[in-house]
Amino acid sequence: MISNFAFLVLDIYLAHSVNAFRHWAEYIPLYFSMGAPLLLTIALVARSCGRVGLWVALGHVVGWSALTVGLAGVLFHLQSAFFVERTLKSLTYAAPFAAPLAYTGLGLLLVLDRMISAQSREWAQWVLLLALGGFAGNFVLSLTDHAVNGFFHATEWLPVISSAFAVGFLIAPFFGPVNRPYLVVCAFVMSAQALVGFLGFEFHVAADFNGPSTVMLQNFIDGAPPFAPLLLPNLMVLALISLWALDAARPEESETESIA
Amino acid sequence: MVGFALIVSAFLINSNRPVSNAGGKGDAFTRASGKCAECHAQLQYSVVHEFELSAHSRRGLTCLDCHRPAANQRTKEHHGFVLSAKLTAGNCRSCHEGIYQEFLRSGHAAVSWAAIYGEKGLSAEEVAFAERYQPGRAKRPPHPFVSLEGADAIKGGCEQCHSVGRPNEDGTIGNCTACHTRHTSSVAIARLPTTCGQCHMGPDHSQIEIYEESKHGVLFAAQQSSLNLAAPARDLTTRDMFVPTCATCHMSGLNGRKITHNPSERLSEFLADPITNRRPNAAAGKANMQAICSQCHAHETIERVYAQAQKVVDLTNDRVNMAQSIVDGLRKDGVLKGKPFENPIDFVLFDLWHYDGRTAKHGAYMGGADFVQWHGNYPMLQKTVELRAMASDLRRKR
């Protein structure tokens, strides 16, 4: 969680540099991403010192704040174009409206950790839901972001397709118990997501290195977002944790019917 | 199942997007179809909105189609796009080469610039090309007012209109947006009298005032809303423009006639000169214009107007010749010394032909009776008397 928030500092800096932090609110996620790792580190130290209360309190503060930042971000992003035209096209060319939900996801995860025992099946299902939401968001994001580019390169369909598969596989456990082989298949599907993510990272960086500006930083700001594809391996980790926890909390095979 | 459903829906949505938004010419063009507006709709809403109203937009063009660098243009990087540092006619000619070539032959091109700055800034080839179609009008010295009034005055005044024919860095001439405006790229706006009237106005070339006085102008004011100013150029008929504007007579291809971006093709005389002479293409120019006139008027009417106008032109030539001979006589006899425009009498002579003479001639051809008389011949008569008095006074004081 700490590294996730810390990484968002760089990501937000590049993303909001596109319009030079024109709106004051664009600084909020930047500063929040700087402060959150600090508070969460304090929380970790506090827990190791036995001050669980402080760990819980700081987790709630950061978690609920992240949730608010994320939801407010969605509204701000949509306001950039969607509310003016309210068309699918303006949704495509609006600021990536689903991107701020990364904060909401992280916030929910923090709050979840403070409210439900990590050993429970319920916790595993909630984490799986967040991973599922992440892949669903990534499906929408990669679809709209690459639509801006007109899917000029066929490879731009890869994250759309892989995210759709991830959603399809991760949704099943919510409709009934699943057996271990299914979870293993899910784990392989998740690994494929990571592969697509790293491949995307390479494609995005390569495109930026060949950008039109003589200033490399400008190419990274205006070009393909270099860190966006890394959301896939990030979500893979989350999904694998949830699958592992789900397996650990799985009732005996003999006691239940399973989805194979 | 869910995964497949998502993939199929993604493909379906994308395949139903307009071509300009979903690929075709390249990723940069596709990106430009909406990416530019993402910022500019907020920063300069009117620019984006005007473009959305344009025929260019309706045909699926993107910002990049016009803003990409044309041949020989300096480039600039702008948020991931490579753009032209300065747009010129060179960008328009990428798609409208034929129109650009017609424009190059016109008085709106290099000769318009040369009317102020002479050959300065024009290449030898550009001067030679312009001289071929507008003899004596490109190979000339700068106008005396350039040095007399100073660069700032000329730049803020004359140049604003005469830059329609400015030489560009990329080797092209002029800028089409002078008439078509920038983001609307509108044929309807170019057909409006007020568009021509931006420059063809005032005492030195009062075409818009004359037009407004004429029957053409009166009818236009009354019936503008019934006209189809936006009709496609190739299909324009008198059903669309049953009242003419400047463009209808001087440029449009009414009822199948040839369209031209060189108004000189329909002119037979150099009315703007101190002494009006026939143009090299006078016969063809007259025939072309009369062919347009005949779309609405009987042959007899057209001939009568031309004959009457010719009499005014001849009369004006006589009056200007007479005035010029008075001043020439003073110089010849050593009464008047110094450079042009150093003596008050120079300005009286200049106003006589530059304001009154031109106005009378244009008024005669464009149906502006008041401009033939009270803004033309009357002040010419007045200034002739004034010139004579000044000349006598100068000779007496000598």
Q: Check residue A87 and report its DSSP letter.
A: S
Instruction: Give the residue on B whose Cα is nearest the Cα of A220.
Output: B80
- pLDDT higher for A210 or B364? B364
Residue B253 CA to its chain's centroid (Å): 17
Residues of chain A neighbouring B49 (CB-CB closer than 8 A)? none
B62 and B98 share one domain? no
Query: How close is the nearest chain B Cα to the Cα of A104, in Å?
Result: 23
- The rounded distance, in Å, linking the Cα atoms of A106 and A100 is 10
Predicted local confidence at residue B29, as pLDDT: 73
Cβ <8 Å between B6 and A148: no
Size of interface A-B (CB pairs under 8 A): 88
Q: What is the mean pLDDT of residues B269-275?
A: 96
Last residue of a domain, one of B142, B177, B212: B177
Q: Report if residue B263 sits inside a domain.
A: no
Predicted local confidence at residue A80, as pLDDT: 61
Cβ <8 Å between B34 and A92: yes
Q: What is the mean pLDDT of residues A137-152?
A: 85
Dihedral Cα B96, B97, B99, B100, nearest 10 deg: 110
Predicted local confidence at residue A260, as pLDDT: 43
Q: What is the mean pLDDT of residues B218-245?
A: 96
B123 and B44 share one domain? no
B98 and B166 share one domain? yes
Instruction: Give the residue on A whose Cα is nearest the Cα of B79.
Output: A222
B306 and B391 share one domain? yes
Residue A246 binned pLDDT confidence (cut-offs 50, 70, 90): confident
pLDDT tens readout for residues A178-198: 788 888 888 888 899 999 999
A168, B4 contact by CB (below 8 A): yes
Residue type, A211: G
pLDDT tens readout for residues B154-198: 999 999 999 999 999 999 999 999 999 999 989 999 999 999 999
Predicted local confidence at residue B85, as pLDDT: 95
Mean pLDDT of chain B: 93
- The rounded distance, in Å, linking the Cα atoms of B175 and B189 is 15
pLDDT at residue A234 greater than cutoff 50: yes
- The rounded distance, in Å, linking the Cα atoms of B367 and B104 is 29
Domain count within chain B? 3
Q: In the structure encoding, which two tokens stand for residue B279, read together?
A: 């143009």
B107 and B57 share one domain? no
Last residue of a domain, one of B68, B84, B110: B68
Whole-angstrom Cα Rg for chain A: 19
Q: Report if residue B282 sits inside a domain.
A: no
Cβ <8 Å between A92 and B24: no
Report B:70-129 residues touching A (Cβ under 8 A): 77, 79-82
Q: What is the mean pLDDT of residues B89-109?
A: 96
Cβ <8 Å between A80 and B30: no
Predicted local confidence at residue A181, as pLDDT: 85
Q: Does A45 touch chain B (CB under 8 A)?
A: no
Q: What is the mean pLDDT of residues B248-255?
A: 96
B52 and B112 share one domain? no
A55, A44 contact by CB (below 8 A): yes
Predicted local confidence at residue A259, as pLDDT: 47
* Structural domain boundaries, residue B367: 300-397
Residue B277 CA to its chain's centroid (Å): 21
pLDDT at residue A224 greater than cutoff 80: yes
Cβ <8 Å between A94 and B35: no
Q: Report if residue B31 sits inside a domain.
A: yes
- pLDDT higher for B207 or A240? B207
Q: What is the mean pLDDT of residues B11-37?
A: 69
Q: Give every CB contact of residue B3 below 8 A, 6+ residues apart in sequence.
A: A164, A165, A166, A167, A168, A169
B116 and B152 share one domain? yes
- The rounded distance, in Å, linking the Cα atoms of B262 and B283 is 16
**B269 φ/ψ angles, rounded to the nearest 5 degrees:** -140, 155
B30 and B101 share one domain? no
Top-ranked range on mean pLDDT: pick from B56-60, B263-267, B336-340? B263-267
pLDDT at residue B362 greater than cutoff 50: yes
Q: What is the mean pLDDT of residues B329-336?
A: 94
Nearest to A248 by CA among A144, A124, A91: A124
pLDDT at residue B84 greater than cutoff 60: yes
Q: Report if residue B262 sits inside a domain.
A: no
Range in A85-94, B72-81, B303-312, B366-375 the model is least confident about: A85-94
Residues of chain A neighbouring B38 (CB-CB closer than 8 A)? 80-81, 93-95
Residues of chain B neighbouring A174 (CB-CB closer than 8 A)? none
Mean pLDDT of chain A: 85
Percentage of residues of chain B with pLDDT beyond 90: 83
Predicted local confidence at residue B364, as pLDDT: 97
Q: Report if residue B306 sits inside a domain.
A: yes
Residues of chain B neighbouring A89 (CB-CB closer than 8 A)? 17, 21, 34
Predicted local confidence at residue A256, as pLDDT: 47
Q: In the structure encoding, which two tokens stand for residue B268, read together?
A: 């037979």
Q: Does B42 touch chain A (CB under 8 A)?
A: yes
Among candidates A152, A212, A213 on the partner chain, residue whose Cβ is nearest the Cβ of B23? A152
| Burial label, A210 (beta-carbon count in 10 A; 0-12, 13-18, 19+) | exposed
Q: Report if residue B83 sits inside a domain.
A: no
Cβ <8 Å between B77 and A95: no
B352, B384 contact by CB (below 8 A): yes
Query: How close is the nearest chain A Cα to the Cα of B5, in Å?
Result: 8
pLDDT at residue B323 greater than cutoff 90: yes
Q: What is the mean pLDDT of residues B223-252?
A: 96
B335 and B385 share one domain? yes
Q: Report if residue B294 sits inside a domain.
A: no
- pLDDT higher for A249 or B317? B317
Q: Does B156 touch chain A (CB under 8 A)?
A: no
Predicted local confidence at residue A84, as pLDDT: 53
Residues of chain A neighbouring B10 (CB-CB closer than 8 A)? 139, 143, 160, 164
Half-sphere exposure of B311 (CA within 13 A, CB side): 6
Last residue of a domain, one of B111, B144, B177: B177
DSSP H/E element including A112: helix A101-115
At A258 the three-state DSSP class reads coil
Residue type, A40: L
pLDDT tens readout for residues A9-28: 999 999 898 888 888 999 99
B50 and B104 share one domain? no
Q: Report if residue B321 sits inside a domain.
A: yes
Q: What is the mean pLDDT of residues A207-236?
A: 89
Among candidates B23, B26, B34 on the partner chain, residue whose Cβ is nearest the Cβ of A89? B34
B320 and B365 share one domain? yes
Query: What are the b/e assignments for A42-57, b being 16+ CB within 10 Å?
Result: ebeebbeeeeeeebbe
